[in-house]
């Protein structure tokens, strides 16, 4: 399946497939069901192969090989990050690292507000753990978000029209005070 995606990327026809996959909640639910029923090697091999395709797709989106609108990239992460979390025990080694890199890369391409929403959800899954120990480790995207947020606030604070801006965690919106 990965070779087919690579050919689609070379031919520049993968965009529509990724757009469709990004909003396919039904396939995501089927995948979760398969992960939960990981009793046979056939199922395990299928999930690893499917996961390789998903990771390759995320890398392609993150690198700009596939150009998607912000809403579609957000839907891709929103739909498939829970599956990636569920597959923690299915994958290991290089594929695991590649998955983390891919998610971090796509996440960093989103607008700050969308990044914040995903990161808050990610951190709230395991509130007692250090964020470096949560799978997938999105600390790279979190650190980039913090840096970009501080830079944006610094730029906005220098503006004559804006006195102070802050993200509130109550309603997850940018408010002017």
Say if residue 51's pLDDT is above 80.
yes
Say if residue 75's pLDDT is above 90.
yes
Q: Give me the domain span that covers residue 125.
A: 2-176
Report the pLDDT value the prediction gives residue 168, as an integer from 0 to 100: 40
Say if residue 61's pLDDT is above 70.
yes
Q: What is the model's pTM?
A: 0.74
Instruction: Give the mean pLDDT of the chain.
Output: 80
In the structure, what pLDDT confidence band is assigned to residue 42 with cuts at 50, 70 and 90? low
Report the pLDDT value the prediction gives residue 74, as an integer from 0 to 100: 94
Round to whole Å and give the CA distance between 23 and 119.
20
Report the pLDDT value the prediction gives residue 38, as an integer from 0 to 100: 66
Report the pLDDT value the prediction gives residue 167, as an integer from 0 to 100: 46
Question: Which of the given ranges, 11-25, 94-108, 133-147, has the highest pLDDT on average?
Answer: 94-108
What is the count of structural domains for the chain? 1
Report the pLDDT value the prediction gives residue 71, as an integer from 0 to 100: 94
In the structure, what pLDDT confidence band is assigned to residue 130 with cuts at 50, 70 and 90? low
């Amino acid at each position: 399946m990965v070779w087919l995606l690579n050919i689609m990327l070379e031919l520049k026809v993968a965009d529509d497939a990724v757009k469709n996959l990004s909003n396919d909640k039904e396939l995501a639910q089927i995948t979760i069901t398969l992960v939960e029923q990981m009793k046979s090697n056939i199922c395990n091999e299928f999930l690893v192969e499917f996961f390789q395709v998903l990771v390759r797709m995320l890398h392609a989106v993150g690198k700009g090989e596939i150009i998607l609108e912000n809403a579609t990239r957000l839907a891709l992460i929103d739909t498939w990050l829970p599956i990636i979390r569920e597959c923690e025990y299915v994958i290991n080694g290089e594929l695991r690292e590649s998955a983390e890199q891919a998610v971090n890369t796509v996440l960093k391409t989103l607008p700050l507000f969308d990044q914040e929403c995903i990161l808050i959800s990610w951190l709230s899954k395991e509130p007692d753990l250090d964020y470096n120990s949560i799978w997938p480790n999105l600390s790279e995207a979190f650190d980039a978000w913090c840096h970009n947020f501080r830079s944006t606030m610094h730029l906005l604070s220098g503006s004559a029209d804006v006195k102070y801006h802050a993200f509130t965690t109550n309603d997850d919106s940018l408010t002017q005070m």
